[in-house]
Every structure is written in structure tokens, then in C-alpha cells.
Structure 1
Amino acid sequence: MKQSLFTFIKKLREFLEKKLHQYNTTLPYVITVVVALILVVGGINLFIELTDTLKTETLAMYDTQITDYIISYRTPALTKYFIFMTDVGDFHGYLIVLAIFLLLSLLVFRRWKYVVQATLVLGLATVSNMMLKRFIDRARPGIEHLVSVETLSYPSGHAMSAMAFYGFLMFLMYKFNIQKVAKVLLMFLLALIILSIGISRIYLGVHFPSDIAGGFIAGAIWVIFCVLVFDLIELFRRDPKT
């Protein structure tokens, strides 16, 4: 992503130097920010569209059908698995993963900034989720809960944080210079974690499927926004003409 942005800005600068008499060195970066905003605004619009349908009968029907289908597979073994996955997407789970990631960043990649970035993305997703829950004020499903919950329902905090945090880790895995097979396996594992955390909330009876969809969309918005901002900051630092 970073190299693509750098190449794009370099080509844009060359084009502008040829076409414009008075070249504005900040224009390529402004265009990059505009692209980021378009992606983020598009995601926000999708989230709003979903939110507007929360009280419709059509969405309620789909929520019920999907929930009934998922909980029909309840078994002791699956219940243990999904309780474990929902714990992975909780506060203590993230502390453990961040600690492991910190060690890897310091000992292997020797770049502690990735831990700071991942923590920032997770923090933004968590804080914004709490605000959205209070504003939307949707109650939890009225079915049996296999785990205790205290907050409101929409969007799912587990789904939103999982998409933001593990989604950002997927971006970092793509970015790191490691063996292709290892990279694919790690990205697949992270995608499986995100999906499992989302499904676990439906399986355990504490979220509607639309809560999970809303959380995934909102989390993806933070990933896209933060990735572009982080890369843009680094490009400003690298570019000798700024």
C-alpha cells in the first residue's frame, strides 16, 4: 500500500510539473487524502444504510433466520470453541495478543511502531463503538445468552474491534517481508479469527447478525482510514520536496 501510494504521488508530481506552470507540492498529498476520505465516507454511508434498517421487518426476518440456523448447531464442543474465540476478542485477549506482538516487533521486526499503530487502531474502534452503542441504543436479542453481557447491542464491539485490530494485523502481514507461504497462512489465520469472533457472538445468543455486520463495516472503516493516514505520514517524512 505504501509503495503504491509513493509511486502514485511520484507519477502525479511528474505529470503536474509538465502541465502546470506553478507547481503545488502539496497537491498530490491532498489528492491522496481525498481518496482516503472517499473510501471512509463510502463505508460510513454503508454503515448508516444498515443502521437505518434496524427496525424494519425485513431485517428482523433475516436476523431471526440466520440466528436460528447458527444456534441449531450448538454442541458442547462448539460452545467451548466459540466461548474461547469470544474471549480472544475481549479485553484480556487483546492484552495477550498485544504482548506477543510487542515481543515479535522488538525481537524479529525491530520496529515497535507497529504495536503503537495497532493499539491506536484498536483504541479508536473501542471508543467509537461505545459512542455508537449509546447513540443507537439497541437492546440485546431476547434469546438464551450463553455468556454474560452488560452493554447494548449495535454495533457489536467484539466484531468491530476484531475487524479493526486483526484486520490491521492482516495489513501488516501483507506488508512484512516474510515467506509467501507463511504470509498467506498468517493472513488466513487472522481472517479466521475475525470470522470466528463475529459468529461466536451470534452463536452465544448475545448479538443479532446485523450487529456483527455493522461491527465489521465500522471496523473496516477504521482499518482503511488508519492505514492511509499512517502511510501518508510516512510519505511526508520520506519526501524530500515537502
Structure 2
Amino acid sequence: MVNRSHWRRASTWAVISAALFIYVCVIMLADKAGFIDDTIIRRVQSWESPDLTSVMETFTWLGSTLVVTVIALVAIVLLAVFLGHRKELLLFIVVVGGAPLLNKLLKSIFERERPSLHRIVEEAGYSFPSGHSMAAFALYGVLTYLLWRHVTNAWGRVLMIVLGLGLTLCIGVSRVYLGVHYPSDVIAGYLVSGAWLGAAIEVFERTTRRR
């Protein structure tokens, strides 16, 4: 019954996330996101200070390819060698490994240029959807889900959710603060990874329940 409940929730959020992503795409392609994006960017960048910039650069670093790769490798070793959870290892690899590939595909389709209001740091490549946001949501989302399966304490589960959501949110905000992404890029990144993670968990739960 627990697995079936997980599957239903995953299936639901996958569909909702995909639908919302399509909605964001329509708004962006119709040039109706500009005013909201610019307003939020100006508001977030109005907080600028040397100390906050250092904090935001740290959060951006936590969503970088290097850090995500290191955390992923550590998780793979723990799942495969020490815990022996082969099925969960496959889920982890599919979610974390598939997110950057999906991001590259989507960026090549939309080819949205990065914002030019105020760049605190420089970054190359297209903007939509945010790769950092996708990677963070995929990594910390699947880690939260896998740990949830093995932690029965209510406070432990709440702590995992708060940490996972907090890190993912701060990484997304840091991309807007540093001037390398529009808010709609970040939101789209969350939604794509949400759909990807939900679909992967649905398949995982179905397969596990059948076996």
C-alpha cells in the first residue's frame, strides 16, 4: 500500500509539472513573461551586497556540474557498495544522469538568450530552462525520495524535505541574483525535473510493486 501511494503521488506531480512547464513555455514564447521576469530580477538584485553575493555564489557552486557529480558519485558508492540497493541505484542514475541531457535538448530547442539587465557573473550558453535548477531538483529530489524510503522518523522526514527544498530554492534564486537566468528559466527547470523525477519514480514504484 505504501508503494502504491508513492506511485500515485509521483504520477500526479509528473503530470502537473509537465502541464505547468508547457504553460510556462507558451508564455515565454509569446513574449508575455518579460515584464514579470524583469520585475523579479530587479527586486532580487536590489538586495545586492558583497556578503550576499558571496553567499549566492556558494549556492550556485552547490548546483554546479562539479559538485553535483561528486555528490552523485558518493551516493552511487553508498547505494551500490555499502547498502546494496541496486534498484534504487538505477533510479538514481536515470534521474540525475538524464536531467542534464534533457536540459541540453531543451536549450537547443528554445535557444533563449540570457538576461542582460545586470550580470554579476558571466556564463555562456542558452538560458531556458536553467541547468542549475534542473540538476539541483533532480539530485536533491531523488536523494530526498530515496532517504524517505528508509527513514521512518517523522522529524527526520521533515528535515530531509526542508533541506532538499531549501537547497534547491536557494540555488535557483542565486541564478536570478547573479543575473544569468530569468525567473521563468528557473521555474521551468524545476518543472521539467519535477516531471522527470515523478515519471522515473512512477516506473520504479510500479516495477518494485510487481516484483
For Structure 1 versus Structure 2, the TM-score category normalised by the shorter chain is 0.7 to 0.9
Contact preservation (8 Å) 2:112, 2:126 = yes
Once residues 139 and 104 of structure 2 are traced to their aligned partners in structure 1, the CA distance between those partners, rounded to angstroms, is: 16
Once residues 104 and 4 of structure 1 are traced to their aligned partners in structure 2, the CA distance between those partners, rounded to angstroms, is: 23
TM-score normalised by L of structure 1: 0.77
Q: For 1:95-114, what aligned pairs fall within 5 Å after superposition?
A: 95-105=69-79, 109-114=83-88
- Structure 1 unpaired stretches of 5+: 9-31, 238-242
- Structure 2 unpaired stretches of 5+: none
Pick one of 69, 82, 86 that aligns with 2:60.
Answer: 86
Match status 1:62 vs 2:61: no
Once residues 211 and 71 of structure 1 are traced to their aligned partners in structure 2, the CA distance between those partners, rounded to angstroms, is: 16
AA in 1 matched with 2:167: I
Q: Secondary structure at the match of 1:47?
A: helix
Q: Deviations over 1:39-68 (max 9, x none)?
A: 544432321121111144542111011111
Pick 1 or 2: higher relative contact order, CA cutoff 8 A, min separation 6.
Answer: 2
Tell which deviates more after alignment, 109-118 or 63-72: 109-118
Once residues 119 and 174 of structure 1 are traced to their aligned partners in structure 2, the CA distance between those partners, rounded to angstroms, is: 17
User: Counterpart in 1 of 2:4?
Assistant: 5
Once residues 84 and 29 of structure 2 are traced to their aligned partners in structure 1, the CA distance between those partners, rounded to angstroms, is: 49
Which has the higher Rg, Structure 1 or Structure 2?
Answer: 1
> What is the CA distance between 1:85 and its match in structure 2?
1.2
**In angstroms, what is the RMSD of aligned CA positions?**
2.5
Question: Percentage identity across aligned positions?
Answer: 27
Match status 1:45 vs 2:44: no
Q: Deviations over 1:79-128 (max 9, x none)?
A: 11111111111111112212332454367644254343222101211111
Once residues 6 and 135 of structure 2 are traced to their aligned partners in structure 1, the CA distance between those partners, rounded to angstroms, is: 31
User: Counterpart in 2 of 1:215?
Assistant: 189
Match status 1:199 vs 2:179: no
Q: Deviations over 1:175-227 (max 9, x none)?
A: 21343323322221111110011101101100000001111110100111000
User: Counterpart in 1 of 2:198?
Assistant: 224
Structure-2 change in CA distance of 1:123 and 1:103 (3 Å): closer
Once residues 132 and 215 of structure 1 are traced to their aligned partners in structure 2, the CA distance between those partners, rounded to angstroms, is: 10
Q: What is the count of residue pairs matched by the alignment?
A: 210
Pick one of 101, 105, 113 that aligns with 1:131.
Answer: 105
